Amino acid sequence: MEQSTLITDFSLIRNAAGRLVLTTNDGNVHEGVFPMRAFPISAPAEGLSLIGENGHELAWVASIASLQNATRNLIEEELARREFMPEICSISHVSSFATPSIWQVETDRGDTELVLKAEDHIRRLTHTSLLITDDHGVNFLIRDIDQLDNHSRKLLDRFL
Amino acid sequence: MIVVHSAAVNNKIIPANATNKTLPLAWQVAAHSQLAEAEEICAWLEINLDNNLHFKKRLLIITNQRFLTVANYPEKIESYPFHAGLALKHHDNAGVANIELFDGEIQLAHWFYTLAHDFSATRFIKQFELHLASFLTGQPITTETSEVCPNCQSPLEADQDECPQCSSTIDAPPSTWTLFRLWRFAKPYKWQLLTGFLLMLASTAATLVPPYLTIPLMDKVLIPYQNGAPIDIGMVALLLSGLLGSALLAWGLGWARTYILALVSERIGADLRTITYEHLLKLSLEYFGGKRTGDLMSRIGSESDRICVFLSLHLLDFATDVLMIIMTSAILISINPKLALVTLLPLPFIAWMIHVVRDKLRTGFEKIDRVWSQVSNVLADTIPGIRVVKAFAQETREATRFREANQHNLVVNDRINKIWSLFSPSVTLLTEIGLLLVWAFGIWQVSRNEISVGVLTAFLAYISRFYTRLDSMSRIVSVTQKAASGAKRIFDILDHVSSVPEPSNPVHLDKVVGQIEIKSAGFRYGNRAVIKDLSLIIQPGEMIGLVGHSGSGKSTLVNLMCRFYDVTTGSINLDGVNIRSLPISEYRRNIGLVLQEPFLFFGSIAENIAYGKPEATRAEIVAAARAAHAHEFILRLPHGYDSVVGERGQGLSGGERQRISIARALLIDPRILILDEATASVDTETEKEIQKALDNLVHGRTTIAIAHRLSTLHKANRLVVLDRGEIVEVGSHDELMACEGAYYRLYQAQARNVDTDLDDVKNDNEITHKAVSA
Ligand SMILES: Nc1ncnc2c1ncn2[C@@H]1O[C@H](COP(=O)(O)OP(=O)(O)OP(=O)(O)O)[C@@H](O)[C@H]1O
Ligand SMILES: [Mg+2]
């Protein structure tokens, strides 16, 4: 599993405890680092920071594409689990048009239920995309309202 | 940031949920098929994500021999027999929690779930530790008789599975018949309403007399005259005076009705406003944090007004109209059922149309409301921040933002008006067609001598009124929808249950000593854990200095102590009583809070100082001001204590405002004093003044002081160093200096007069920044 990259001046591995270990080119070793995107919504492919367990930035990656495959895979794997943001593909049912309301949704990660506590938990990102935060802090993304089917759009419209 | 809770083993049994009996039906077959002989399920946890973070349910089970997972879909069954070194850990990030199974240092497996399952997960891990320990030692699990809530550690009643303080259920959403809920506000006025209603009946009846009088006028006077008979003057006079009389009666009754009902509706509107505002004030800071001022203002201000107008004007008209339709129909049917039937024919059509349009409009009006609050939000954002706007010369941009919000408003309105504008003409068209029908059918009936000309004219007189009312009645659709959506938005506030609820069985503390105990408190803002498993006991009269770098959770801890928020886990006790069981205002009365950004209300300085104790005498106010070292500068103001300070206390310097807020805290003579960076942004001279003021304040009270400048904490009995929501060091200044830990480094940095914070110092030797070139 051990992989090191040459182009960039750090190497990243996952240890037996499941933590990412970063070794910088000057020999410093940091265990339990995690990647964090600087603009997870507006520019996910740019600007990524590797942060140590103590919350300090250890390395900065300007563009994820510039990383070597192995490192990028590790980072993306870690990101996938840190950035849990199911994308809503359709809304099958809402319990009421007044909040709190329970929504049955289909997402790219399977069907689930979310509780919308208040209308303000729907945040408009751009003209066509929305971020919905449920009762427990899970963020759901609607990438493009216009891509939703009619039924979902109608339901959603009642909350916008 | 990763949060690791490695739950401590404790030998309290965790209540129900995690037992065999309550295993969900769907899982029973799958789970039991996995079990060996003499193996039984001790605890379980249903999780809702698979390892690719897809929503799929799985079951984690602890038996008396091992740990295993079960899934209802094809996937490897994982099984881990108990042995020494096995441990479960869990942490969470961005709404997803992760349970990891470790064998010593090695991660064997991990599972994900969303935070909705978090409470049971904590319990599950505790169960795991208990059963593993019991397996390894061969000892049965010790059970404690008194069960405590696994979450807040408060004792549970024997029959309670869930802690009443922690269990949070989703409140049922308000019903769509929101307007009927206004009855709650109308109830106190039911007698006036009844009077109004009776007057309405009478006045409507009075307006229906004139058309009826046209029948004899036509049949007994005009038509006989045309046929050569002389006019009966007496009868004409009688009929005409009847017309005049009924008109006068309708006028008088109508006036009384409108007056009484308008009076009542105005009162209902006022009650609605005040009650909503009172409720709003009781909501927790969490609510205000998530709302925008402009939106709340428009809800309480204009929407309650809209409801009021609706009640006093539109609903009244509508009720009159409905009454009139019913009475007219009755009269028409009594005169001639056949013609009445034809006359009333268009009614169902119109009713149907109203119904259709109604649905379309309702959503539209809700939208308009939201757009309206957007517009007012822009205002509420920029007006208080006008200095920033001007400083960065962003007037045009703010103007554009406003114009855009307005534009949006226009677009939404345009869309609605499209439907709406079609509606009225359609009703008019139907009306005309209806009239046509009556004419045609009437003429036919007259020709067959089924009715007299008088009856036909009466019918025409009735229905032309009737249909014009229908037209105005149709307007009720839009206003009702508007009022209903306004009512909904108001009830949204009213239905919101404070997230720091009043206790159901309040405990009253006679005399507060001031001992504060924080028991493994945890707190998260949304999905961000900010305070983690923090325990601290503060003795009565003790002064605690809270230090730590920016964002370490100091203010949050203070918010928890003031019960602006409730802890997510653990508990905070005052004199041994959970603060959740104390009445909120009674509890807060014991707390004096001085914030970094002191807020002064519009009013005189004296009023501001006496804010927490309005009945304070002038002497008390002056004494408090003196103690806060504010007396002298107040006297230098043109009107002394009567000087009016504006919104946000403009006209006073930061330090002056600060001292007024200290005086305010001093005046209520609290047992507990909380100073959140009370001297952060003032010059050294003023700081000394404020420091002197604070020294007066601190004396003999339990004090929690937050400060970045460590010198201000020289009086503290103990210093508590916080780092990322956890206590890293506790001790006196000398002790902490001696152990050369985080505090020492922080102090050294300040002594060197370098503007560094705790964290940067700690990482002095590390390479903190590494740029990776693309
Ligand atoms: N209302 C909120 N919603 C979400 N997160 C918040 C909220 N208030 C504070 N936080 C976060 O909680 C953490 C602790 O904040 P807190 O205000 O307690 O820090 P602090 O120690 O008082 O810092 P400072 O010394 O700068 O005042 C910070 O990371 C902050 O971003
Ligand atoms: Mg703070």
d(C-alpha B274, C-alpha B267), whole Å: 11
**A-to-B residue pairs, Cβ atoms closer than 8 angstroms:** 141
Task: Give the DSSP letter string of B222-283.
Answer: IHHHHTTPPP-HHHHHHHHHHHHHHHHHHHHHHHHHHHHHHHHHHHHHHHHHHHHHHHHHHS
Check if B287 has its Cβ closer than 6 Å to any atom of ligand 1: no
Say if B612 falls within a structural domain: no
Give all strands (DSSP E) within B548-589, no chain letters. 569-574, 577-578
d(C-alpha B196, C-alpha B256), whole Å: 8
- What are B531's strand-pairing partners? B523
Judged by CB atoms closer than 8 Å, whether chains meet at A62 and B766 is answered as no
Q: Give me the sign of the Cα torsion angle B402, B408, B412, B415.
A: positive
B333 and B390, same structural domain? yes
d(C-alpha B241, C-alpha B225), whole Å: 20
B49 and B96, same structural domain? yes
Say if B247 falls within a structural domain: yes
Give the pLDDT band of residue B177 (cuts 50, 70, 90): low
Distances (CA, A) of B172 to A91, B72, B316, B487: 20, 31, 31, 17
Q: Token digits for B540?
A: 């009565």
Among B495, B521, B541, residue at a domain's last position: B495
B513 and B484, same structural domain? no
* B84-B89-B92 Cα angle (round to 5): 170
Q: Is residue A43 packed enough to be buried (19+ CB in 10 Å), middle (13-18) or exposed (0-12)?
A: exposed
d(C-alpha B591, C-alpha B563), whole Å: 10
Please tell me the pTM assigned to this model.
0.67
Judged by CB atoms closer than 8 Å, whether chains meet at A56 and B768 is answered as yes
What residue has token string 């807060």? B588
Q: Is residue B538 packed enough to be buried (19+ CB in 10 Å), middle (13-18) or exposed (0-12)?
A: buried
Q: Token digits for B558?
A: 């203070």
Tell me whether strands B543-547 and B718-723 are parallel, antiparallel or unpaired.
parallel
B482 and B545, same structural domain? no
Q: C-alpha dihedral over B416, B421, B424, B425, to 10 degrees?
A: -150
Q: Token digits for A9?
A: 């001046």
Q: Token digits for B335?
A: 């005169």
Judged by CB atoms closer than 8 Å, whether chains meet at A57 and B492 is answered as no
B483 and B518, same structural domain? no
Q: In what order do the strands lie in the sheet with B672-676?
A: B591-594, B672-676, B702-706, B543-547, B718-723, B726-731
What residue has token string 């067609």? B433
Q: What's the gap in Å between the CA of A71 and the closest CA on chain B?
A: 13
How does pLDDT run across B292-312, given as a tens digit for each residue?
Answer: 777 788 788 878 888 888 877
pLDDT tops 50 at residue B19 = no
Give the pLDDT band of residue B18 (cuts 50, 70, 90): very low
What residue has token string 């003044």? B689
Judged by CB atoms closer than 8 Å, whether chains meet at B2 and A34 is answered as yes
- Name residues whose C-beta falls within 8 Å of residue B248's C-beta, 6 or more positions apart in sequence: none
- Name residues whose C-beta falls within 8 Å of residue B629's C-beta, 6 or more positions apart in sequence: B659, B689, B690, B692, B693
Q: Please report, rounded to a whole number, the percentage of residues in chain B having pLDDT higher than 90.
A: 3
Which is nearest to B288 in space by CA: B521, B499, B490, B528? B499
Check if B274 has its Cβ closer than 6 Å to any atom of ligand 1: no
Break chain B down into helix, strand, coil percent, rounded to 5: 55, 15, 30
- Name residues whose C-beta falls within 8 Å of residue B167's C-beta, 6 or more positions apart in sequence: none
What number of CA atoms fall less than 13 Å from residue B442's CA on the CB side? 21
Report DSSP state, residue B568: S
Task: Give the DSSP letter string of B526-557.
Answer: TTEEEEEEEEEEE-TT-EEEEE-STTSSHHHH
**How many domains does the structure of chain B reveal?**
3
- For chain A, what are the domain ranges? 10-82, 88-157
Q: Token digits for B378?
A: 């822009």
Q: How far is CA B447 from its chain centroid?
A: 68
Q: How far is CA A134 from its chain centroid?
A: 15
Report DSSP state, residue B398: H
How does pLDDT run across B432-491, given as a tens digit for each residue?
Answer: 888 888 889 889 988 998 888 888 888 888 877 777 676 666 667 667 777 777 787 788
CATH code of the domain in which B47 resides: 2.30.29.30
Q: Is the Cβ of A31 closer than 8 Å to some Cβ of chain B?
A: no
Q: Token digits for A27?
A: 């020999």
B433 and B523, same structural domain? no
Q: Token digits for B176?
A: 């769509």
Q: Token digits for B90?
A: 């869990």
pLDDT higher for B170 or B232?
B232
Distances (CA, A) of B681 to B235, B384, B654, B662, B687: 93, 20, 8, 15, 9
Q: Which long-range contacts (CB under 8 A, 24 or more apart) does B415-422 make?
A: B415/B364, B416/B361, B416/B364, B416/B365, B416/B367, B416/B368, B419/B357, B419/B360, B419/B361, B419/B364, B420/B357, B420/B361, B420/B478
How does pLDDT run across B364-374, given as a tens digit for each residue?
Answer: 777 777 777 77
Judged by CB atoms closer than 8 Å, whether chains meet at A83 and B94 is answered as yes
Which is nearest to A64 in space by CA: A42, A47, A85? A47
- How far is the centre of ligand 2, averaged over its atoms, from the C-alpha of B705 (Å)? 11
d(C-alpha B369, C-alpha B381), whole Å: 18
Domain range for residue B217? 187-495
List of chain B residues whose C-beta atoms are within 8 Å of the C-beta of residue A139 = 94-95
* B209-B213-B217 Cα angle (round to 5): 165
B107 and B224, same structural domain? no
Nearest CA to ligand 1 atom 30: B551
Distances (CA, A) of B612 to B182, B447, B561, B669, B691: 34, 86, 18, 10, 22
Q: Is the Cβ of A107 closer than 8 Å to some Cβ of chain B?
A: yes
Say if B514 falls within a structural domain: yes
How does pLDDT run across B637-691, given as a tens digit for each residue?
Answer: 877 888 888 655 557 887 888 888 888 888 888 888 888 877 665 667 777 777 7
From B288, B525, B527, mutation site for ligand 1 pocket: most ligand atoms within 8 A of C-beta: B525
pLDDT higher for B200 or B473?
B200
- How far is the centre of ligand 1, averaged over its atoms, from the C-alpha of B473 (Å)? 54
Q: Please report, rounded to a whole number, the percentage of residues in chain B having pLDDT higher than 70.
A: 85
Q: CB–CB of B445/B341 below 8 Å?
A: no
Say if B536 falls within a structural domain: yes
List of chain B residues whose C-beta atoms are within 8 Å of the C-beta of residue A111 = 55
Q: CB–CB of B207/B323 below 8 Å?
A: no
- How far is the centre of ligand 2, averaged over its atoms, from the C-alpha of B550 (Å)? 7
Would you tell me the crossing angle of helices B453-495 and B337-344 to the nearest 10 degrees? 40
Report DSSP state, residue B173: P
- How far is the centre of ligand 1, averaged over its atoms, from the C-alpha of B498 (Å)? 21
pLDDT of residue A123: 82
Say if B361 falls within a structural domain: yes
Give all strands (DSSP E) within B579-701, no chain letters. 591-594, 603-604, 644-645, 672-676
CATH code of the domain in which B740 resides: 3.40.50.300
Q: Give me the sign of the Cα torsion angle B403, B406, B408, B413.
A: negative
SS3 for B58?
A: strand
Most A CBs within 10 A among B114, B286, B723, hence the mutation to make, goes to B114
pLDDT tops 60 at residue B170 = no
pLDDT of residue B478: 67
d(C-alpha B419, C-alpha B414), whole Å: 9
What residue has token string 């009855």? B183
Say if B14 falls within a structural domain: no
pLDDT tops 50 at residue B10 = no
Q: What amino acid occupies position B215? A: I
- Pick from A10, A16, A53: CB nearest B770: A10
How does pLDDT run across A43-63, given as a tens digit for each residue?
Answer: 788 888 888 877 777 888 888
ipTM for the predicted complex comes to: 0.82
* B421-B422-B424 Cα angle (round to 5): 75
B337 and B268, same structural domain? yes
Give the pLDDT band of residue B630 (cuts 50, 70, 90): confident
Q: What's the gap in Å between the CA of A8 and the closest CA on chain B?
A: 6
B513 and B461, same structural domain? no
SS3 for B292?
A: coil
B472 and B328, same structural domain? yes
- What mean pLDDT comes out for the span B529-543? 88
How does pLDDT run across B21-34, given as a tens digit for each residue?
Answer: 467 777 777 777 77
B355 and B280, same structural domain? yes
d(C-alpha B49, C-alpha B11), whole Å: 30
What residue has token string 């937050």? B706
Most B CBs within 10 A among A135, A154, A157, hence the mutation to make, goes to A135
Say if B646 falls within a structural domain: no
pLDDT of residue B256: 92
pLDDT tops 70 at residue B492 = yes
Q: What amino acid occupies position B344? A: L
Q: What's the gap in Å between the CA of B650 and the closest CA on chain A?
A: 32
B462 and B365, same structural domain? yes
Judged by CB atoms closer than 8 Å, whether chains meet at B527 and A138 is answered as yes
Q: How far is CA B572 from its chain centroid?
A: 24
d(C-alpha B677, C-alpha B689), whole Å: 15
Nearest CA to ligand 1 atom 6: B525
List of chain A residues whose C-beta atoms are within 8 Å of the C-beta of residue B114 = 84, 136, 138
Ligand 1 atom with the shortest distance to the CA of B559: 18
How does pLDDT run across A92-121, given as a tens digit for each residue?
Answer: 988 877 667 888 999 888 888 888 877 778
Say if B680 falls within a structural domain: no
Q: Is the Cβ of A124 closer than 8 Å to some Cβ of chain B?
A: no
